[in-house]
Chains A and B, each alone.
Chain A
Amino acid sequence: MEALRLPIAMFLQHLANAISLGSLYALVAIGYTMVYGILRLINFAHGDLLMLAAYVVYYSQGMFHLPWPVSISLSVVVTMCLGIVVERAAYRPLRDSPRTTILISAIGVSFLVENLGLVVFGGRPQSFPLPRFLDIGSATQIGSVTVENITFAIPVVTLALLYALLYIVHKTKTGMAMRAVARDVDTARLMGIDVDRIIATTFALGSALAAVGGIMWAMKFPQINPLMGMMPGMKCFIAAVFGGIGNVSGAVAGGFILGVAEIMIVAFLPAISGYRDAFAFIILIGTLLLRPTGLVGEKAAEKV
């Protein structure tokens, strides 16, 4: 019986990690998909927001010793503000430009944020503090295996935020306006919707989710550095495409599946774990070529 309990415990550990990672990917993927839905823009800089959120908490804890709820709220607010500023400064002037121009701008902003981080925060990885309330910083034993408590907290928080977001999108006037703008900008404008404000709101919401994702990410993987958002950002974007770009539930599904698949593959096929990151890109290319609308996406008719 002992021999069997070991693999089961390991499997559960991997599963817990997988669901955790999937939740984080889902949270950040939502931001990508919402922005793409209304602006048809891949916001390359989105992944870097999670880095910023982590650093705000790091500094507010380390330097100012603020209580956790305050530093988390501060971080979310700061990240939301940055998201709105980026939209206003780097994307709004290009609304009428060809799509590739605005994509170049997004890439530029991403590199700008990352390297500003390098300049301001320094390139050396820092250790992220772990909170003590709710025992989050500590771990639990399952059989012979240890799992950090944060791993359980992440899916819970994600689901709660998801519920809140879906409520906003489907049950409030702002959410309806967001959906209208995503469907047809000009008609929405004619209906009296303040398109600029709605776009800003979308960015704010997505950024807030990315902020929470970033903070929880730093709690789970407590080493932070200014480039930490680059790869996860790419993967979350891929998750959004995989699930169906423009569709929130698609982003969630994509994020979960990608996160779970990544952990499971590394766990059970260690020989190819060097290709861990390639896996996400293979999924991206596969999706774009075989089913560009993603898992849940709808086909948009092209008018010549």
Chain B
Amino acid sequence: MRVPAEQRRRALLLLGAVLIVAWANGDLRFAGVSGWGSYTVRIINLCAINAVLAMSLNLLCGFTGQFSLGHAGFMALGAYTTALLTMEPATKKMVFFMTPQWGPLQNLLLPFLPALVLAGLVTGFFSLLVGVPALRLRGDYLGIATLGFAEIIRLILQNVRRVTNGALGLKGIPPVTNLWWTLGTATFTYFALRNLLASSYGRAFKSIRENETAAQAMGIDLFKHKLISFVVSSSLAGMGGGLLAALLTTIDPVMFKFPLTFQVLLTVVLGGMGSLSGSVLAAAIVTYLMEFLRVVEEPHYLSFMTIRGIPGLRTVIFSLALVVVVIWYPRGLMGDRELTVATVTGYLKKRWPGRRGAG
């Protein structure tokens, strides 16, 4: 049973966090100022979305040991679902100027929450269709099969012009994504996955990762559990895609090619395959670095000269980092340990002991 003091402390922390988010998001004024600057807020939004994407991929690759390269395909499904459900009919009419949109979709409009949830469900459904055949494969074969499926999904989205506007993409998606949505989804994802992984199902997943044959011999239905992991992972990716769509306000099929999966994969490897908090940390680091290094890629116009940007340098740095990490630090930042309040306070107590005696 929790001590009341402990509960009070948690409630206070939560209240504090909520207040900070409210201020950062511009909903609350403090000393006459509100909002953390739209640029910083955008970065935090991206961090949170990347955290959702990384945690979901980690569930499948890091915890269940199923190497899937199809994440971008599911992100695309979620993004398009959310976009099509939240775009105003008037905007849709404008955007679908080459091929008119398919009738029933033209006037369909939903508030953001149901749209996001539907994005997750639709993606989950399609991930079932993909998972049932694909999960019969193992190792690198599973990897390339899921890569193949992701490309097929993407190409279908690119070709069904009446539904998705094809290669022209969708513009004018309502910019609903804000700190509440992203941090909320990230927090939800973290706790939902943490619970799942701490439960018997989590042990089943890990046993499949450790030794499939033995897991099966101990009564674990391999296919069913791989599929559960796959569908949960993909549905979350779909929601991440939906949040991304409402953040960028513009999406097209080209966005969702393999390099997008690569970025999520690299985040997972960096953070540690098998650590949820590692994925969150790595998402923050990678997102921040991506933005920070963007400076290097863009041209800079000074009064007396123009410094040419070097496009592609970010990916050079990140792919080099990936190869280095995978060879020398395969456990990434956190390995399979988790960073929790308990571990942090425990560590701090060890470094600075003796203020209040033991414990």
Direct A/B contact, Cβ within 8 angstroms = yes
**B333 CB to closest chain A CB, in angstroms?**
16
A93 at the interface (CB under 8 A from B): yes
Cα A289 to Cα B144 in complex, Å, equals 12
Chain A residues, CB < 8 A from B258: 230
Contacts A101-B326, A104-B269, A104-B322: A115 and B141 contacting too (C-beta < 8 A)? no
Query: Which of B6-14, B132-140, B195-203, B287-295 interfaces with chain A?
Result: B132-140
A180 at the interface (CB under 8 A from B): no
B323 at the interface (CB under 8 A from A): yes
**A3 CB to closest chain B CB, in angstroms?**
33
Question: From B149, which residue of chain A is reached at the shortest CB distance?
Answer: A285
Chain A residues, CB < 8 A from B285: none
A51 at the interface (CB under 8 A from B): no
Whether B140 lies near A99 (C-beta < 8 A) is yes
Whether A274 lies near B159 (C-beta < 8 A) is yes
B126 at the interface (CB under 8 A from A): no
Whether B323 lies near A109 (C-beta < 8 A) is yes
Contacts A100-B140, A108-B326, A111-B259: A285 and B156 contacting too (C-beta < 8 A)? no
B143 at the interface (CB under 8 A from A): yes
Whether A282 lies near B152 (C-beta < 8 A) is yes
**A132 CB to closest chain B CB, in angstroms?**
34
Question: From A237, which residue of chain B is reached at the shortest CB distance?
Answer: B144
**A291 CB to closest chain B CB, in angstroms?**
13
A13 at the interface (CB under 8 A from B): no
Cα A112 to Cα B262 in complex, Å, equals 12
Instruction: Give B319-342 as 1s and 0s: 1 = Cβ < 8 Å from A's Cβ atoms.
Output: 110110011001000000000000
Cα A41 to Cα B155 in complex, Å, equals 27
Whether B156 lies near A278 (C-beta < 8 A) is yes
Whether A123 lies near B144 (C-beta < 8 A) is no
What range describes how many residues of B lie at the interface?
35 or more
Whether A42 lies near B269 (C-beta < 8 A) is no
Chain A residues, CB < 8 A from B315: 111-112, 114-115, 118
Instruction: Give B119-155 as 1s and 0s: 1 = Cβ < 8 Å from A's Cβ atoms.
Output: 0000000000000011011011101110111011001
Most chain B CB within 10 A, of A94, A123, A274, is at A274
**A106 CB to closest chain B CB, in angstroms?**
9
Interface of A (DSSP majority class):
helix
Whether A275 lies near B149 (C-beta < 8 A) is no
Instruction: Give A279-304 as 1s and 0s: 1 = Cβ < 8 Å from B's Cβ atoms.
Output: 00110110011001000000000001
Total contacts A-B at CB 8 Å = 116
Most chain B CB within 10 A, of A94, A101, A104, A117, is at A104
A277 at the interface (CB under 8 A from B): yes
Question: From B262, which residue of chain A is reached at the shortest CB distance?
Answer: A111
A144 at the interface (CB under 8 A from B): no
Instruction: Give B296-323 as 1s and 0s: 1 = Cβ < 8 Å from A's Cβ atoms.
Output: 0000000000000011110110111011
Chain B residues, CB < 8 A from A101: 326, 330
A190 at the interface (CB under 8 A from B): no
Cα A94 to Cα B310 in complex, Å, equals 31
Cα A107 to Cα B151 in complex, Å, equals 16
Instruction: Give A18-55 as 1s and 0s: 1 = Cβ < 8 Å from B's Cβ atoms.
Output: 00000000000000000000001110000000000000
Whether B149 lies near A123 (C-beta < 8 A) is no
A116 at the interface (CB under 8 A from B): yes
Considering the complex of A and B, which 3 residue pairs feature the smallest CB-CB distances, nearest first?
A118-B312, A281-B148, A108-B322
5 further A-B pairs in the complex, CB-CB below 8 A; given A99-B139, A117-B312, A278-B151: A105-B322, A111-B262, A119-B311, A288-B141, A289-B133
22 contacts between A and B (CB under 8 A): A90-B323, A94-B326, A100-B61, A100-B143, A103-B140, A105-B327, A108-B320, A108-B322, A109-B323, A112-B316, A112-B319, A118-B315, A226-B312, A241-B144, A274-B159, A275-B159, A281-B151, A281-B152, A284-B145, A285-B133, A285-B134, A285-B145
Which A residues are within 8 Å of any B CB, using their own CB?
40-42, 90, 93-94, 97, 99-101, 103-105, 107-112, 114-119, 123, 226, 230, 237-238, 241, 274-275, 277-278, 281-282, 284-285, 288-289, 292, 304
